[in-house]
Every structure is written in structure tokens, then in C-alpha cells.
Structure 1
């Protein structure tokens, strides 16, 4: 009798594991507002995530993919619920049906995207919930035409420190503050303390204190290393309400 009960229990565990596998395989990822305007948002690409996009009636939204990315196929659960127009690496999208909740599968020449589409009403165009544009970020993108970029599978070679500028200062929230920053004249390398802490988004800050998104990558060998694909006078690192400002003193002193 005990063996029979053990067999039943084992069968139930296996059955529950099989049932739960699809739910563990993918996570829902929502776009995050940028510091300048909450209606401009970013979303980090992951092949195992479902991306949630909310459109607003009477307003057009835009989904911006990677540079050079071309749409091969776009299919929807309810194609009559949304207006879709493709243009290069952008998708212009807005809900047109009362109940527009559906899904969308997007296949490009580089990646596959799974979308969960929702539609809502807003009071006016300045509503903070409104989404004008969602830009995808690709921190693990290994494509680069610049041979000076450090390989994502290796560490930075610091055997010749004279080739790097270490003259950086920072101010801001210590929880997301980097522990080391330097550049080689082409790229900026930022080391963080804890690989389990979510990486902040990087912005370049101009002389008028206007912030703009900048391309960056995460090293596949060292998840604490962020590689920013340019060198600038000022950067800001943002994670939610936490902000750190990075100052390139070598450039600021010129």
C-alpha cells in the first residue's frame, strides 16, 4: 500500500512539473519610462520573455527595434483589433476595436518577439500612462562593426593602464553606484558591485542637462561589466528612482 501511495505521489509531482513548465519558461516584461518623458519608454530584449504593450484609443504608438532589423513576418490573434503599419525597423500601432486584447508574434531577420497587446482609454495626450514609443535595448547584442570593442567573452586587458583614462568621479545613489569606471578613448567600461543587482539604464547627458539613451552591452563572461559604446563628458545611470551621475573629469577639464 505504501509503495502504491509513493507511486501516486511521484506521478502527481511529475504531472504538476509538466503543467508548470510553460509558466516558468517565459516572463512578462513591461516597458520602463525614460527620465526625460514617461511617454517614451524602453524595454530590454530577452528571447524567453513576453513583451507587454499597451496602446491607447485615438493615439498612435510605435515599437522601435534594433538598427538594421527587418520584419519578416507579423501575425496577430485578432488582426482586426489593431492598426499596424511597418516602416523599416519600426512598427506603428494603435487599437481600433473595443476589446483589443490579443497577442502578436513578430519574426525578424534577427530575432523572434512574443507580444501581449492591451488597449486602454486616456483622458488626454499628456496622461503619464500614455506610450508614444517603446525602444528595445539589446545589451547582449554581439554584433559590432568596430574591432576596438572588447570581446564580450573576455575581460578588459589592463596590463597597459596608460592606454586608459581612469579619471572619473560619480555622485548619487550608492546602491547602483559602479565600483570602477574607465575608457579607452572609444568605449567606456563600467564595473558594478553585485551581479545580482539589476543593471541600470545608461543615458548621455549633454551640456544642457538633456539625457539621451546610449547603446551599451553586458559582458557575457563578467555580468558585472557594462560596456558603453562611446565616451562622453557626463553619463547618468538610472534604475527606477535611483540615479547616479558619472563625470569624465579628463574631458570636463578641457
Structure 2
């Protein structure tokens, strides 16, 4: 009887999952081997490639590399076709740097590594790399660009102060970039442990929410509804929101990594003992 009940519940879950994926034009499984990196001329992008696999670096349609320079090109197969670069390592254990200049006067800096792993499902290496350019956005409100905050965040902070609500420990300092007016949150804040987001029409449309590592790797996050907000039980330097072709990147301007906190704690302990 329990086995039969489990089968029914599992079937309903699959049906709902398919319906959700059709509604958002997104498949339920998200492949981390498809990377979207936020372009910055001051960033070094660290990418891992796999022996026996060819990876694809995609530039915008009107942009193409005019110069490629390598620290050591031995062991790498590189082919340029239009705005695409195809790269394949011939040997494992390779590590070097690569610099690409394009006809758009952009310079890209890479640290590239090769590995060999028999597991084809390994998501630690890149199949395809795209770039996202915040400086090209034209529909982000000027106040958001200048003030570096999401619309409504400062107003919410000031209103809560006027109402006498305690705001100590609450971080309202978030900025964003991206083309996705349907999924851009109205408010974002965190209490140091949980991040809260409020979307239009009482969260009528909630996008997929991802944390983004410094290497550009996205991890899908779970959320819950708490007091009318979408609550994510983590704080991150960067989130990506995706729905269909829309993408919004959210940046925590006051983010302090747990590693940094631990280092600060250790320094304080040493200084106290030294004072004694």
C-alpha cells in the first residue's frame, strides 16, 4: 500500500515538474557546464577543460577576436570561427594563461587548466562560455546605476526607521544589472543569514534563483515564502535570476565571506593574547 502511494505521489511530482518547465520555457535540470560570466576588463576568468572534449567560448555576434596570446600553447587545440572560439586540451595537467583582444577593444584574461575525468557528467569543467556585459544595458533606471541600489530598498530602510522598527543587522545594500523587468525584484535585503526578495504582484512570478561563484558557476537555490517574501537560506555575493530569456544579476554590496570572518576572528584572538 505504501509503495503504491509513493508511486502516485512521484507521478504527480513529475507531471507538475513538466508543467512548470513548459510554463517558464526552462528545463528543470540546469547544467552547470553552461557558464555565463560577467565581463570585466579587470577580471581573470579561471576555466577548466577536459581531455577528449571540445569547449566553446562564444562572444557577441558583432565581436570577434583579433589577437590571441598564450603563456604556453603546447598541448592546446584552438580554432577561431567568426565570433566563436573552440578550445580542446590534448593532455591532462596543463595550466597556462590566455589573453584575447577583440575588434571591440575588449581584452579578456583567462587562466586555463586541463583535466581528465572518465565521468562525463562532471560539472566542474566548461562546455560553453558566454559573457554578460552590464555596461551595455540601457533599460536599467539611472537612479539604480548611480545609487547602486534596487528601487525601493532605501525607501524601505528609511520607512522602517521612521516606524521605529529595528534595522540593525539588516543589509539593504544591493545593486543589480540585467534585462528582465518581469523578474527584477522590488526589494532585496538580508539579515546576515537569510536573503529576502519581493517580486511584483505579491510574488506572482518567481524566477529560478542561483548563487554565482567567482568562476561564474551557477548553483540552483531552494526558497520558501516567509511573511510575503521569497526567503533563501543563505547570503551570497551574487545571485542570478532567470526566467525564459530574461536574466537579472543581483550583487550584495556589503557581502563578507565566511572565510573572511573566520580570518578576522583569528586575528582578534591573537591580538588579545599578545596584549596579555
Q: TM-score, normalised by structure 1?
A: 0.49
Q: Which has the higher helix share?
A: 2
Q: Which has the higher strand share?
A: 1
